[in-house]
Amino acid sequence: AQSVTQLGSHVSVSEGALVLLRCNYSSSVPPYLFWYVQYPNQGLQLLLKYTTGATLVKGINGFEAEFKKSETSFHLTKPSAHMSDAAEYFCAVSEVATGNQFYFGTGTSLTVIP
């Protein structure tokens, strides 16, 4: 079965600092990759996705992620953290072998320190 690993269940950064949230997947065939954000007691909102083409993907709110096949990674970054970025972030994958299912990582809670 597909596995998605998010290293670091809690990440803290200072306001204005670089945000780096890590995501690795386990698949011999590159899956489709997604990052979602969740604010307290709400559903998930798509930040960005990688399907095909350019490996550096830009999303909403200044976030971007780079697909690296050799490292089986899809890390999420933002150059300068804002207080409003404090939330839970989930990496997800979708591939043929899982029959149209989405598999999510366990999430990373981002705290932004003023």
Question: Interface with other proteins by CB under 8 A: which residues?
Answer: 9, 32, 34, 36, 41-46, 49, 51-52, 90, 92, 94-96, 99-107
Q: How far is the CB of 14 from other proteins (least distance, A)?
A: 25
To other proteins, the closest distance from the beta carbon of 57 in angstroms equals 12
Sign of dihedral through CA atoms 6, 104, 54, 76?
negative
Nearer of residues 19 and 23 to other proteins, judged by Cβ: 23
Alpha carbon distance 8, 21 (integer Å): 8
For the chain, give the number of residues: 114
- Dihedral of CA 99/27/69/67: which sign? positive
In angstroms, give the least distance from the CB of 9 to other proteins.
Answer: 7
